[in-house]
Amino acid sequence: MMRRLLACFAIAAALGLAACQTPTPSFETGLEAADRGDYAAAVEIWGPLAEAGDVLAQVHLAGLYAAGEDVEKDSAEAVRLYRLAGEQGHAEAQFNLAELYARGEGVARDYAAAAEWYRRAGNQGHVKAQTRLGAHYEKGLGVEQSFAEASVWWRKAAAQGHIGAQTTLGALYERGLGVPQDYVQAAAWWRQAAEQDAAEAQTNLGYLYSKGLGVAQDYAQAAAWWTKAAFQGQPAAQSNLGVLYEKGRGVRQNYGEAVRWWQLAAAQDHPDAQHNLAYMYANGLGVPKDDIEAIRYWRLAAGQGLAVAQHYLGAMSARGQGVPQSYAEAAKWYRLAAEQGDPDSQLALGKLYHGGAGLPVSLVQAYKWYNLAAARFAPGQARTDAARRRDALARGMSAHQLNEAQRLAQQWQPKTR
């Protein structure tokens, strides 16, 4: 030690310095302290540096206060320090400050202030800030709602490879929200995200291939993308893949495989998969015939508002298949599906009103539901049957009854689940 001190004085004398001094702690010194878990020392070092304007000290000290890692959490102090660094143009500080404003942490919640700080960071290429600002424009948080402006910011993030932004931008092009509807563009953005193993994008891209939207229809490609997403646990992909195996589209028909994928999706409460499984159990396809199990899955799907499942529950109740026979129970399920616009249930409900099975006889209600079914069925035997029943019923109705039934049919609007 004595040799080092003597050498220090000798060097100082040679350089014309008064004496050796202890080096001023630097940001790196504080970082070394933090790295070894001595946060108290890091705070002691970074504090004076932050007040002197050291932007890195401001950002890291703010991070400690925001997280409360081995120092007392102080969100208000984090806000102050992030603001100091943000005003110096530090993008990460601007983003973190925006996050605190958006959450109302350490400061009153202020979406407008959050959007402004996201914008500052986004203009510097901060990808998370760009996605957050896109979401603010989508929802109208602190800014005027605008899908067009949202698309601008999501495009900036998507161009940097952000998977979520690419997936969202694809959805905007598919729906024509803020951008012209363009399935080709939707496919292009979803492909970029899908190739990064984004399950949602893979599912969406598979859908485009299954329908031939923006790409040539190709069930094999749909199956390939849905398989990738299905193995990641994406329930919609699992359900869709099951349909391909059931129908033998793009893959070899295999009821067992269809059931396997539907079971995985149904376990995640996917209503279409639950309905499909119920149908397989009711008909003994790929599984032993089991009406009780069919009812169980249809109830799960119907409870989520799936009209086709509600219709089948109505039919099973009317027949007493898997459940006690009950026209009143059938009417309950038919009505739920009919109100959503399911024409099969509308026709069935009309029959119950016409015959007084489970419901009071009502020619007005029967005509209303027959009329609605005839309008909603695709051309074919079912439409012809509904129209025939409606017209035959009309011949036995008074002018007042007929006018009332037609008025009810005209005023009817489908309910969404």
What is the CATH classification number for the domain harbouring 391?
1.25.40.10
Q: What is the pLDDT of residue 69?
A: 72
Q: Into how many domains does the chain fold?
A: 2
Identify the band that residue 9 occupies on the pLDDT scale cut at 50, 70 and 90: very low
Same structural domain for residues 310 and 204? no
Would 238 be classed as within a structural domain?
no
Domain end, chosen from 216, 231, 253, is at: 216
Q: What is the pLDDT of residue 71?
A: 83
Taking only the tens place, the pLDDT of each residue in 37-62 is 898 899 999 999 999 999 999 999 99
* Residue 189 domain boundaries: 161-216
Taking only the tens place, the pLDDT of each residue in 347-390 is 999 999 999 999 999 999 999 999 999 999 999 999 999 999 99
Q: What is the pLDDT of residue 89?
A: 97
d(CA 353, CA 345): 12
Would 410 be classed as within a structural domain?
yes
Assigned token pair, 392: 């035959």
Count the neighbouring beta carbons within 10 Å of the beta carbon of residue 84.
22
Same structural domain for residues 208 and 313? no
Is the pLDDT confidence value at 19 over 90? Answer: no
Is the pLDDT confidence value at 4 over 50? Answer: no
Same structural domain for residues 212 and 319? no
d(CA 396, CA 348): 20
What's the maximum distance between 2 C-alpha atoms anywhere in the chain?
121
Domain end, chosen from 152, 181, 216, is at: 216
d(CA 297, CA 154): 39
Helix, strand and coil in the chain, % to nearest 5: 70, 0, 30
Identify the band that residue 249 occupies on the pLDDT scale cut at 50, 70 and 90: very high
pTM score, two decimals?
A: 0.85
Q: What is the pLDDT of residue 24?
A: 57
Contact 96, 106 (CB under 8 A): no
Q: What is the pLDDT of residue 417?
A: 74
Contact 290, 278 (CB under 8 A): no
Would 240 be classed as within a structural domain?
no
Long-range contacts: 357-362, Cβ < 8 Å, 24+?
A: 357/327, 357/331, 358/326, 358/327, 358/328, 358/329, 358/330, 358/331, 359/327, 359/328, 359/331
Would 407 be classed as within a structural domain?
yes
Would 382 be classed as within a structural domain?
yes
Domain end, chosen from 178, 195, 216, is at: 216
Is the pLDDT confidence value at 1 over 50? Answer: no
Q: What is the pLDDT of residue 416?
A: 85
Would 350 be classed as within a structural domain?
yes
Contact 154, 168 (CB under 8 A): yes
Would 341 be classed as within a structural domain?
yes
